[in-house]
């Protein structure tokens, strides 16, 4: 099963029952990308994700290293994304930044963005927290959570005020949801990653 990080509540009990009756079953997911939950009920709400549930309630093995690689992003981008979840095993880029077209992490003033884009060979996809964020016309725009699973070229992120603090190195306590959405947004870039500040 894929997207295991999105399961919650009764899902955990169902998965545990399925695993007890199946010869082989694998649940794959990345707790860093928990931008959605199947429910928000009280059942099993003490577990932050399905992996914590299985770690504490079953004897099934949990492998946190086999799939901890990125075939999409540069080392610079993955290194930044890893800082959002220092408590989890690091994801490793399979290619160095030099091997990927682009792969830089850039910061551009939001007021300079349209002029800056004109000097480039490609137009980035703009990722925002939600539809309340105003964006310039004429660009492909998506909400951060909606971009999950996609590989995009250059990505421009319009951060929330708390995300902006994190990006600029100021102290901030990002919510788990904000960290997950920012992680997803950062790791969509197969080219350059641009923060619009």
Residues 117 and 151 grouped into a single domain: yes
Residues 151 and 182 grouped into a single domain: yes
Residues 53 and 129 grouped into a single domain: no
Helix (H) or strand (E) holding 105: strand 105-108
Work out how many domains the chain is built from and give that number.
2
For residues 155 and 185, the answer to whether their CB atoms sit within 8 Å is yes
Domain of 117, in residue numbers:
74-196
Tell me, what's the pLDDT at 178? 95
Consecutive 10-residue runs of the chain (197 residues): their mean pLDDT?
Answer: 76 83 78 69 79 81 77 93 94 68 91 94 95 93 95 97 98 94 96 97
Residues 120 and 159 grouped into a single domain: yes
Residues 128 and 44 grouped into a single domain: no
Helix-then-strand count for the chain, H and E: 6, 7
Give the domain CATH number at 100: 3.40.50.300
Q: How far apart are CA 183 and CA 148, in angstroms?
A: 10
Q: How many CA atoms lie within 13 A of 156 on its CB side?
A: 22
Residues 82 and 163 grouped into a single domain: yes
Residues 37 and 87 grouped into a single domain: no
Residues 23 and 92 grouped into a single domain: no
Tell me, what's the pLDDT at 54? 79
């Amino acid at each position: 099963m894929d997207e295991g990080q999105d399961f919650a509540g009764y899902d955990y009990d169902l998965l545990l029952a399925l695993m007890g009756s199946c010869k082989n079953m694998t649940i794959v997911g990345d707790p860093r990308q928990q931008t959605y939950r199947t429910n928000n009920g009280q059942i099993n709400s003490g577990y932050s994700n399905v992996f914590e549930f299985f770690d504490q309630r079953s004897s099934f093995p949990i492998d946190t290293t086999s799939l901890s690689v990125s075939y999409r992003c540069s080392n610079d981008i993955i290194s930044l994304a890893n800082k959002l979840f220092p408590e989890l095993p690091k994801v490793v880029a399979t290619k160095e930044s030099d091997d990927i077209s682009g792969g830089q992490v850039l910061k551009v003033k939001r007021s300079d963005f349209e002029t800056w884009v004109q000097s480039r060979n490609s137009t980035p996809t703009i990722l925002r927290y939600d539809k309340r964020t105003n964006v310039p016309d004429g660009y492909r725009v998506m909400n951060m959570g909606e971009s999950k699973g996609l590989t995009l070229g250059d990505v421009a992120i319009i951060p929330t005020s708390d995300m902006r603090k994190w990006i600029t190195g100021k102290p901030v306590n990002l919510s788990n949801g904000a960290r997950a959405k920012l992680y997803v947004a950062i790791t969509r870039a197969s080219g350059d990653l641009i923060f619009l500040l």
